[in-house]
Structure 1
């Protein structure tokens, strides 16, 4: 049954109403970071959220069923923290920062230790499981143009991949790792053969890459750039006809139809159940999309500040988004009054669930 009943006029009115999202019930995390939030990540095993901040700290929050939150742990880097990720069993948190190091925090002992080092800031960290192995490893990507694999039981990297440029963004899903670099390079790695790059391509978007995010089924990935565009890319060449890009996070000022303001796409998160995804940007809005149907499911009003990071929890019933300055307009646009918070959006089923095809009349 179609969600949009009635005639053409009713269809249009209902569609517009369906596409409008509500943030009035969103709940702020208690005791948020003291400076810009660079990354957030949910535990895959529990309702715990880790947040990386420019205040040189990683904070871990526990979220109750009613959306209330309490800080459970915190550990330090020696510089701004740029990335954070959980181990698959939820027992550890890893983070990378401008101190050129990655650190690991053990949730059970409350202790952190340095586990990786680069020659430049560590922009991305991910915990991975090699195909056919239960052994979990850390992967770090840096502005020193290297990606390193670390066995956390030993102090030196077990392998290093040389990149063409600085690492800006990285994501892993099953055996797929996608790395977004400066100068629009994108490297694809098959983790069954982690010591080599499976495929190198230029981003299908014309401007600087801000984020890559792998599909849950690992058949492809989404790319977001500073030009207010998102691209959907499949890894296998036989699916290249399914690749496409679309405009988002743009606005036309009232009374000035000749001008379009374009905003960076900072974050892309895939829903763990439905495979639909969110985009969030420097315009302070987030949206949910269905890549297979090629349409927007929901759009939300501005949250009052730029959104640098987003994450779904393990079952997809909470969507977290950070509101803090993303430096998209340089240091002059920042101020002590700029909002700095993490919000929890309770997901309703119709917000991210693919809609049945509308029947033609």
Structure 2
């Protein structure tokens, strides 16, 4: 669909237009947005926040209206901060991972209008959950969680006791980011720049472990649309493109992004963290977004930036494309990169919807889609 009926042509230059981006206003959280995720079956946008809430919006031509909202509470009634969330492959369930290692599981078929109460909560991890994803294995929808306790766990929610993991992977370090694609590929990025690659046809073991091609701490990892590889973003304002198959190593590369020249000294570059990477579901192109308050669309096969967008006025903490790839959501909020002391009242807090118009995300002619 054309978001809000917009049909204006895209700009032809490499500078993108954010003037038509629509702000989500209904029932917004009151603290930084930790994650965004679109449903794989409907234009439902879910978000988690440091104010301990999880909110789901229905996106349509009138904007975004709140559909469900709830506070993440454990079985003991304690409120907890959700750090990440994900939709099941059939779009009927969501799960969020808490800062204390709790899983918040929601079956939306039983959710009352406007209210969002967990179908189940349990605490399988000793420390916070920083990655959460679903995949289908042997006909079952399986939830994957990755934690700062250095483990990744699988849960079959159709089992007699879904709180008991059906499998556990021991990682070399704390899990910082994790992604899944096409029920084939699981990529786990940990502290100390380790990256674990798992073939989800054989999920009980780690297929191989590599060191990040980037020299500084990993911030985010995101799988290609065709599951042939992944992109990695770091705190140093760099992104790397990495293929899984060793025969494609010649295609691996890294590039600078989210850096700005110091206006008083052109020899000095200000470096910003790459906080989010999202792949377009149809075109295989991707976005990066960072602490500098900008987002960009890239064609990795042509090694080309398609569009760069102006500073939105605050750090971008999370991004997501909808299922059709014609809406790009981004969250503007404090990203904690400068610690608690820099979190001050009045910082910008918004979620915006950017309509993908024309060729903004289309690969360059002749580039191979992956």
Q: Give the superposition deviation at 1:17.
A: 5.4
Shift of 1:97: 1.1
| Shift in Å, 1:90 | 1.0
Alpha-carbon displacement from aligned partner over 1:250-285 (angstroms, at most 9, x marks no partner): 000224111100000000000001000000000000
Q: Cα deviations across residues 232-264 of structure 1 (Å, max 9, x unaligned)?
A: 000000000000000000000224111100000
Select 2:249's aligned residue among 235, 240, 244.
240
| Kept in 1: contact 2:44–2:57 (CA 8 A) | yes
Aligned: 1:107 with 2:102: no
- Answer yes or no: is the 8 Å Cα contact 2:100–2:126 preserved in 1: no
The whole-number CA distance in structure 2 between the counterparts of 1:172 and 1:100 is: 20
1:229 maps to which of 233, 238, 241: 238
Structure 1 residues 41, 33: closer, same or farther in 2, change over 3 A?
same
Take 1:19 and 1:255, find their aligned partners in 2: how far apart are those partners?
A: 26
Partner residue of 2:64 out of 58, 63, 69: 69
Equivalents in 2 of 1:356, 1:119: separation in Å? Answer: 49
Secondary structure, aligned partner of 1:157: coil
Are residues 1:138 and 2:143 paired? yes
Equivalent residue number for residue 185 of structure 2 = 176
Which runs of 5 or more residues in structure 1 are unaligned?
1-15
Relative to structure 1, is the Cα distance of residues 204 and 169 closer, same or farther in structure 2, using a 3 angstrom cutoff?
A: same
The normalised TM-score by structure 2 is: 0.90
Partner of 1:7: none
Q: Deviations over 1:185-206 (max 9, x none)?
A: 0000001111110010100000
Tell whether the 8 Å contact from 1:116 to 1:150 is kept in structure 2 after alignment: no
Q: 1:12 aligns to what?
A: none
Q: Is the 8 A contact 2:86 2:133 kept in 1?
A: yes
- Which residue does the alignment assign to 2:21? 26
Q: 1:76 Cα deviation (Å)?
A: 2.4
Q: Note if 1:47 corresponds to 2:43.
A: yes
Structure 2 CA distance for aligned equivalents of residues 103 and 219 of structure 1: 31
- SS at structure 2 position matched to 1:172: strand
**Which one is further off, 196-205 or 329-338?**
329-338
Per-residue Cα deviation, 1:75-118 (whole angstroms, up to 9, x for no partner): 22222110011011111111001131111111121141215521
Normalised by the length of structure 1, the TM-score is: 0.92
Once the 2 structures are TM-superposed, how far is the Cα of residue 355 of structure 1 from its aligned partner? 2.2
- Map 1:267-278 to 2 at 5 A: 267-278=276-287
Partner of 1:121: 128
Aligned to 2:81: 80
Counterpart CA distance in 2 for 1:325 and 1:95 is 20
Name 1:164's counterpart in structure 2.
172
Shift of 1:134: 2.0
Secondary structure of 1:18's match?
A: coil
Between 1:153-162 and 1:44-53, the stretch displaced more is: 153-162
Distance 1:206 1:355 in 2: 29
> Is residue 2:155 matched to residue 1:150?
yes
Identify which of 328, 335, 344 aligns with 2:353. Answer: 344
Within a 5 Å distance, the mapping from 1:4-15 to structure 2 comes to none
Report deviation, 1:32. 1.5
CA deviations 1:166-211 (Å, max 9, x no partner) are 0000000021000000000000000111111001010000000000
* Contact 2:318/2:330, CA 8 A, preserved across alignment: yes
Q: How far 1:64 sits from its partner (Å)?
A: 1.1
Q: Shift in Å at residue 124 of structure 1? A: 1.1
Select the residue among 278, 281, 291 that pairs with 1:282.
Answer: 291
Aligned residues, how many? Answer: 340
